[in-house]
Chain A
Amino acid sequence: MKTNDLLDYDNIEINDNDMAMDSNFQRISILDHLSNKIENAFQLQITQKEDLLNTAIEEDAKPVSIFDKISIPEFKKEYKSKISFNPIQEWEGYVVDIEKDSFTAQLVDITDLEHCVTEVAEFPILDLSDNDIPLLQPGAVFRWSLGYTRSNSGVKRRVSQIVFRQLPKWTRSDIEKANSKANKFANTIVWE
């Protein structure tokens, strides 16, 4: 029984799909994807070793230290993959209307905030990443960026990406402050 083998990163297969971006230039997920693959491989190896350990315990019916049987995997080599993104145009958008296949958003050009240009556009819901779909609701705020990605190998691509913003959450203090203001306005403004 081999008990001291290392997690072999050379045998984690990286295929074309890993290196490709989501359809229609959506979120770049290469690093996340590889990270998940490495974690899965690690988990698989631990599970296999635990099975072996349990078998040994049953056979010998005597306590066995887990450190006798397995070793903590070490990184044999560090995998480095970086993709840089340089935006050339960005908007902040908020969702105005949602239809079956698309949503309409009002956009503020944040590349040129000085002129405060406001535009409107319709986006296919299919273009959103899975993580962003639950965030799609009227009033939801997102960032739409156009720009270039450059990989380690120097490959340059023109991309468009939409990322919904995870704004801070409403707090009790926000609500109490608003209630207090509302009470003040309602009591001090005199209407006929």
Chain B
Amino acid sequence: MLDAPAYDQIEVTLIGPGFGESALIHLGNNNWVVIDSCIDSNTKKPAALAYLNSIGVNASEAVKLIIITHWHDDHVRGISDVLEACPDALVCASSVLSNEEFLATVLPFKENNLIANKSGVEELSKILNILEKRSKAGVKHKLKRAFSDREVYRLDSSESGHGVDCNIWTLSPSDKQFDKFLVELTKLVPEIKRTKYRAPSCSANHSSIVTLIKIGGQSFLFGADLEETTDVETGWSVIVSSSILANVKSMIFKVPHHGSENAHNNDVWKQMLHGSAYAILTPFNRGVKKLPAPGDVKRLSSLTSNLFSTSNIAQTKSSIKRSSAVEKSIKETIGGIRDLEPKTGIIRLRNSGSEDQESWACELFNTACKL
């Protein structure tokens, strides 16, 4: 069903939700980038590895860069397996992963073996063990901190297969975002003699890594979960004013934070994207508010006619078959429950190769749909 892209074809694939989201980018000539990780709803394994395997790509040789945008568990689940499977890949993560204060705050939650609901801390701990092992083995310059306007990877035109350079920048987090995150983190510090609890979520979204990939005249923007703020030195406002982005208009946009309004910035659409840009997103089903909300879909649809989601969020009623007594009790007490992990869908965009790099085709697999 699935075939590998030609050596000179650029591909952008978004997989989700399963549990989270993952993006794969073929830069050309079998050089791949993986941004975040999600678990496939069928195989319960990292979807990025399953996808590459299904199209006949050997991940251990082909993946050159892995970006971990932030530590929320819908973005890191299974990333340690991806790291293990791609030992030569450069790993790029936010500075928080190398911050002792951050690690000291979250690692106590890893010891909470009494809880069946695992958090992203277990994954974080596995990642740290892998990175420590690599560092001890003397694998240097394979770990890069991400911050505003940093070029983290370059693929020369002679190796790219289509004859043009590839450059990858991280556009966030800004210094101020990072500082704010550390302040926010202090609220999570476990207190001695206080009853244990599962690691709660904090505003890690504000320290998300936004990634810009430029391949010749084409560019692609991956918004992670970065939200907008009222402070011009943080959020999307600081990115819009980035000097790296002067006259750069992206053809593909991974919509930030599942299309939510609090991640929206009009200037991003006006200044950073083509008028006919493909906007791709994964839905979010875990909170009180499901994302994207109907209003979000309406807003995004008014900005592009090419809006796609890996799954239709409305179809999330629990798929588990239980006895009639249990079903009746659920209905009587809380009305109903829903799947946290709707079926995994795939949006795949490929261009026509070096002959016509600006012509794109979109394919949808499984639950993926146009919004």
A51 in contact (CB, < 8 A): no
User: Chain A residue with minimal CB distance to B337?
Assistant: A121
Residue in contact with B192 in the complex, picked from A106, A139, A170, A190, CB distance below 8 Å: A170
> In chain A between 89 and 107, which residues have their CB closer than 8 angstroms to a CB of chain B?
89, 92-94, 96-97, 99, 102, 104, 106-107
Assuming the contacts A120-B338, A174-B111, asked whether A139 and B200 have C-beta atoms less than 8 A apart, the reply is yes
Q: How far is the CB of B40 from chain A (nearest CB, A)?
A: 13
In the bound complex, do residue A191 and residue B197 qualify as a contact, i.e. CB atoms below 8 Å apart?
A: no
Question: Whole-angstrom distance between the alpha carbons of A121 and B103 in the complex?
Answer: 31
B45 in contact (CB, < 8 A): no
Most chain B CB within a 10 A radius of its CB, from A109, A124, A174? A174
In the bound complex, do residue A189 and residue B108 qualify as a contact, i.e. CB atoms below 8 Å apart?
A: no
In the bound complex, do residue B200 and residue A138 qualify as a contact, i.e. CB atoms below 8 Å apart?
A: yes
Residue in contact with A118 in the complex, picked from B97, B99, B197, B340, CB distance below 8 Å: B340
Assuming the contacts A24-B333, A120-B286, asked whether A174 and B190 have C-beta atoms less than 8 A apart, the reply is yes
In the bound complex, do residue A166 and residue B287 qualify as a contact, i.e. CB atoms below 8 Å apart?
A: no
**Residues from chain B with Cβ under 8 Å of A93 in the complex:** 117
Binds B, one of A7-15, A29-37, A70-78, A180-188: A180-188
Most chain A CB within a 10 A radius of its CB, from B99, B101, B104? B104
Q: How far is the CB of A112 from chain B (nearest CB, A)?
A: 8
Question: Whole-angstrom distance between the alpha carbons of A181 and B135 in the complex?
Answer: 15
B65 in contact (CB, < 8 A): no
Residue in contact with B143 in the complex, picked from A146, A172, A177, A189, CB distance below 8 Å: A189
In the bound complex, do residue A106 and residue B200 qualify as a contact, i.e. CB atoms below 8 Å apart?
A: no
Question: Whole-angstrom distance between the alpha carbons of A191 and B100 in the complex?
Answer: 13
Contact with B along A163-182 (1 / 0, CB 8 A): 00011111110110111011
- Using CB atoms and an 8 Å cutoff, list the residues of chain A in contact with chain B: 24-25, 88-89, 92-94, 96-97, 99, 102, 104, 106-110, 113, 116-124, 127, 135, 137-141, 146, 158, 160, 166-172, 174-175, 177-179, 181-186, 188-192
* Seed contacts A146-B330, A182-B100; 4 additional CB < 8 Å A-B pairs: A107-B337, A158-B328, A174-B111, A182-B101
> Could you list 24 examples of A-B contacts with CB < 8 Å?
A24-B333, A88-B326, A92-B115, A94-B197, A104-B286, A107-B340, A119-B338, A120-B338, A120-B340, A121-B336, A146-B333, A158-B329, A160-B329, A168-B114, A169-B193, A175-B190, A177-B108, A177-B111, A179-B104, A182-B104, A185-B132, A188-B132, A188-B136, A191-B145
